[in-house]
Copies of this chain bind each other. A is one copy, B any other.
């Protein structure tokens, strides 16, 4: 199935819906590299008209409400929080209660931040099982159990399918189709999907699934897939440097009804994380306008 390029939002002179995922600056926690504080990141975004921000939990721990308020004062919206704990698989907490507790804590932090969405990365194949079916069932059960709490906190949950190379340990959920199957099964207004071009660019079934998703697309993430990618985690490309059909995917995402922020999330130890954050932000804006 091909993408049909429909009428799209024109970003060529407008980056008002551009959002920064702080991972793009190398996880900006003081002490972990040359990173910026959340406050400095907020200011740098505000200065450049980057109106959205997505934090990681370790950056805002214990001060979510204050950082949320700081962002609002600066005119920057906290679009989302990365992320709920792994729910299943070898990297998840061993006890189900611990997973659920931490999941609720992440929901609390999302609410305190005033963020729109909490992203869910499911975790990989359950230890002792083969294939993904048992794990996907466990994921659905876990989410169904926590959803009412999220709803009462005003938090939406976005299931993010990850690239199939993460299937073993990080995500038994690897396609938009599987994510929507879980959404269909649970059927709750505050459960949807996050579409990250890095994870789904290869999927020729994507146009069909995005149309099926409709208003359940809660987030749209940008970067690029480098033709000769060299690392499982930390070699994402800046938009335009890779082979993903960014405009085709965005067209389908928007045709499905999504009109929200476009969040740039680039893990890049060998390239972008070595540059000055100001330079990264400026290039990000330029690429967003020119190739996305």
A124 is an interface residue with CB less than 8 A from chain B: yes
Contact B133 A204 (CB under 8 A): yes
Known: A201-B131, A202-B174, A205-B177. A90 touches B227 (CB 8 A): yes
A165 is an interface residue with CB less than 8 A from chain B: yes
Q: A165-B165, A167-B225, A168-B242 are in contact. List 10 more A-B contacts (CB 8 A).
A: A90-B227, A90-B228, A124-B243, A130-B248, A131-B243, A168-B228, A169-B228, A177-B204, A177-B205, A205-B205
Within 8 A of B (CB), among A197-211: 201-205
In the complex, the count of this chain's copies comes to: 2
Complex interface: chain B residues within 8 A of A177 (CB): 204-205
List the interface of chain A (C-beta within 8 A of B).
Answer: 2-3, 89-90, 124-125, 129-133, 136, 163-165, 167-169, 174-175, 177-178, 201-205, 225-230, 232, 242-248
The winner among A164, A177, A245, A247 for most chain B CB atoms within 10 A is A164
Known: A178-B204, A202-B174, A243-B125. A226 touches B130 (CB 8 A): no
A133 to chain B, nearest CB (A): 6
Contact A243 B204 (CB under 8 A): no
Complex interface: chain B residues within 8 A of A202 (CB): 132, 164, 167, 174
In the bound assembly, the distance between CA atoms of A165 and B132 in angstroms comes to 18
A171 to chain B, nearest CB (A): 10
Contact A229 B168 (CB under 8 A): yes
In the bound assembly, the distance between CA atoms of A131 and B247 in angstroms comes to 10
Complex interface: chain B residues within 8 A of A175 (CB): 203-205
Contact A168 B226 (CB under 8 A): yes
Contact B245 A131 (CB under 8 A): yes
Complex interface: chain B residues within 8 A of A129 (CB): 243
In the bound assembly, the distance between CA atoms of A255 and B130 in angstroms comes to 20
Closest to A135 in B: B243
In the bound assembly, the distance between CA atoms of A227 and B135 in angstroms comes to 13
Contact B164 A130 (CB under 8 A): no
Contact B169 A227 (CB under 8 A): yes
Complex interface: chain B residues within 8 A of A125 (CB): 227, 243
